[in-house]
Amino acid sequence: MKSGFLVRTLLPTLLAAITALGGVRGALAAESRESEAKATLNALYESRPAAKALGAKAKAILVFPDVRKGGIILGGQSGEGVLLKNGKLAGRYRVDGLLVGLEVGAQSFAYTIFFMSDAAFEQMRATHGLEIGTDPNIVLVDSGAAKEVTTGTTQADVYAYVTNQKGLMGGISVQGLKFTEIER
């Protein structure tokens, strides 16, 4: 009698509790990603005033606080982030990429992308990703060039910043990136 009671009553209750905890854990991870992304964006704004000027004009900002990259000749990169519009969460995305060439090492970094026009953002969404090197026009801003970017000189459709680099990656390669919306 006791074993039947356990199977019929406690087992379904235990399974429901485990399922609920999984949902809570997923929600907490999503909130954590959003907090990390906003912290990454604020750190970028503090270290590069030009990025703050871009953020004020951007139609949407895609922030990946922790992208992992590694490979030996053939490699890949991946990370999860959030899309912000007017400072509010508008979607969750992941970035995946393939590297082919003379490349060796591993690193992590933050990747922030400013969409300066609705058309550039909509093109990324319509093509279910964005391949680096094709339209819209993308400018990868490094620390030297960041000093020259102002609201008066922004003419590209998309600006990207790579920050918080850790690890060592060297070589030359051809790479492509794909952004995928993972939940809304």
Residue 143 DSSP code: H
* Cα–Cα distance for residue pair 182/44, rounded to 1 Å: 24
Q: pTM (2 decimals)?
A: 0.72
The model's pLDDT over 17-33, given as tens digits with 9 standing for 90+, comes to 444 444 444 444 556 88
Pairing of strands 60-85, 138-141: unpaired
Angle of CA points 76, 59, 139, to nearest 5°: 45
pLDDT tens track, the chain, 184 positions: 455 544 455 445 434 444 444 444 444 455 688 999 999 999 999 998 889 999 999 999 999 999 998 888 888 889 999 999 998 999 999 999 887 777 788 888 899 999 999 888 888 877 766 555 433 445 555 544 444 444 444 557 888 898 888 887 776 666 677 888 887 5
Identify the burial level of 176 via C-beta atoms within 10 angstroms of its C-beta, where 0-12 means exposed, 13-18 middle and 19 or more buried. Answer: middle
* Cα–Cα distance for residue pair 168/154, rounded to 1 Å: 31
Residue 8 DSSP code: I
Sign (positive/negative) of CA torsion 97, 145, 105, 92? negative
Q: What Å distances lie between residue 125 and 90, 131, 160, CA to CA?
A: 13, 12, 17
Q: Kindly list the domain boundaries of the chain, sorted by start residue.
A: 37-183
Backbone angles phi, psi at 123, to 5 degrees: -65, -40
CB proximity list for 25: less than 8 A, separation 6 or greater:
none
